Structure 1
Amino acid sequence: MLSHLIFAGLVALAAALPTADLEACPAPMPCASYTLMNTRGTTEPQGESLGFTAINANVSAARPGGKIIINQIHSTLATNADECFILEGYSQGATATVDALGNLTDAAFAAVKGVFLIGDPVHKAGLACNVDMAGGNSTFDVDGVFIAAGLKTGIPSDWVPKTLDVCNYGDGICDTKHGDGITIEHIEYIMDEGVHKLGAEFILKQLKGGSAF
């Protein structure tokens, strides 16, 4: 079963990672309190999604104070209207995350500062949020498996400006033009330092009040 998971041990993980790439990320943030929520892929074990371990360690190192809890956005906002959220999804977890976006309106929409997706089956060609693992455009015009099959409609238009949808060239789950099914490219996000840096910089920018690049 897919579930939202909040990561534990982020500060400890951050201590083991280089900090040079974080120096360009400004420390002051308007979000005094934030929650990182992710949905893991179908075959990933219970616990933290491997696709986001290093990314969230980088975020936590640059901006401590993230809540290590599992919580629904609406219930959290009922007690803390100033809470900020970052949503993350890998593979089928990206589909579950995108499916939820349409139900997050008004205060919930405003509270979610960013959505970071990797290996997304509902990656839709031509959206401004589409990038490859290097932040380039080699997968800008490709569709994921659920879009190609006509099963999903993709990221809602009002969410595109605050989303980064990373698709590795040749990943048959998000790039049906250059890949077929679960290819090696579908698991390369986990170990790719460029993706970790890309994700951390995006999340920190969104928490500061920026928009997708």
Structure 2
Amino acid sequence: MRISISLAAAAFLASSASVTAIPVQLDASAACPAVELISARGTTEPQIPGSYVLNRGPLAAIARQVPNTAIYNVVYPADTDFNTGPIIGANDLLARLNSRIVACPSTKFVLAGFSQGAMVVQRALPQIPTAAASKITAVIMFGNPNFDASGPCADGTAKGRGHRGTPIPAEWQPKLRDYCNSGDPVCAGGSNWLVHAAYGNGAAANKAVSFVVSLL
């Protein structure tokens, strides 16, 4: 299928572009970090070590600035079943969040999703109870298939470029940013897969890091 080949190519390009970056150390243990970054990878990215775009890009940069930060990779197929995959991912994200909030009441959480992983995050948001939502400091998404270009959370060079996606619930808007750059085939209707693979570095990643750190 053409889209699966293209997505695989995008994932390869993302991994190649990020090879010299420092990955966030994985930590799924019972220890409670000050901040836990919950990372939902994009289509065809590996479960381990997780998203090259997120974990070696903005999340690594956040971890370098914020002491005692750990990461959890959402467990889901990340294949080309875009109907079932986000449901599985959202369920895992919710289970992780609910269990960790009980075990680690002082931990702050950041949700991050790339490509199909953004669908995972966005699907989970309305299902997060108010008490749990208060523990989530920030949400960042990149290359989101449901990107709403005219929404209040839109950012990146495709902001305001006419792509109508799924609106972000009002209660999440102050602490959520959704980044999409012009030319991205997934979020902006473009044709340049290099754009889709490049969110690990550049202006969007830098803005996301600054946004998250400012809220922590």
Same fold (TM over 0.5): yes
CA separation of 1:163/1:68 partners in 2, compared to 1, >3 Å: closer, same or farther? Answer: closer
State how 1:179-190 maps to structure 2 within 5 Å: 179=190, 183-190=193-200
**Which SS does the other structure have where 2:128 is aligned?**
coil
> CA offsets per residue over residues 121-148 of structure 1, 9 Å max, x none?
1111321111115xxxx4234326xx3x
Pick from 189, 198, 203 the counterpart of residue 212 of structure 2. Answer: 203
Query: Are 1:126 and 1:141, in contact at CA under 8 Å, matched by a contact in 2?
Result: yes
Aligned counterpart, 2:115 = 91
Give the distance between the partners of 1:185 and 1:14, measured in 2 at CA. Answer: 21
CA separation in 2, counterparts of 1:196 and 1:169? Answer: 15
Give matches, 1:90-169, under 5 Å. Answer: 90-132=114-156, 138-143=158-163, 147=165, 153-169=166-182
Give the secondary structure class of the aligned counterpart of 1:95. helix
Q: Equivalent residue for 1:19?
A: none
Which residue in the other structure is 1:210 paired with?
none
Contact 1:115 1:163 in 2 (8 A): yes
Shift of 1:156: 1.6
Aligned-partner Cα distance in 2 for 1:91–1:114:
18
Moved over 6 A (4+): none
Displacement after TM superposition at 1:68 (Å): 4.3
Q: Structure 2: which 5+ residue stretches go unaligned?
A: 1-20, 25-32, 74-94
Q: Following the alignment from structure 1 to structure 2, what is the Cα–Cα distance between the partners of residues 126 and 68?
A: 31
Offset at residue 14 of structure 1 (A): 7.5
Alpha-carbon offset, residue 69 of structure 1: 4.8
* Correspondence for 2:70: 67
**Distance change in 2, residues 1:193/1:126 (3 Å):** closer
Change (3 A) 1:43 1:68: closer
**What is the root-mean-square deviation of aligned Cα atoms in Å?**
2.4
CA drift of 1:33 comes to 1.2
Give the whole-Å Cα distance in 2 for the aligned partners of 1:185 and 1:13.
21
TM-score by length of 1: 0.69
In structure 2, how many angstroms separate the alpha carbons of the residues matched to 1:128 and 1:79?
A: 34
CA distance in 2, matches of 1:46, 1:200: 23
Q: Which has the higher helix share?
A: 2
Equivalent residue number for residue 11 of structure 2: none
Cα deviation per residue 1:138-173 (whole Å; 9 max; x = unaligned)? 4234326xx3xxxxx332222111111000111121
C-alpha displacement at 1:109, in angstroms?
0.8
Q: CA deviation at 1:96?
A: 0.7
Instruction: Measure how far apart 1:74 and its partner are.
Output: 0.9
Query: Are the counterparts in 1 of residues 53 and 198 from structure 2 also a CA contact under 8 Å?
Result: no
CA 121–64 in structure 1, closer or farther in 2 if over 3 Å, else same = same
CA distance in 1: counterparts of 2:51 and 2:196, whole angstroms: 14
Note the C-alpha offset of 1:193. 2.8
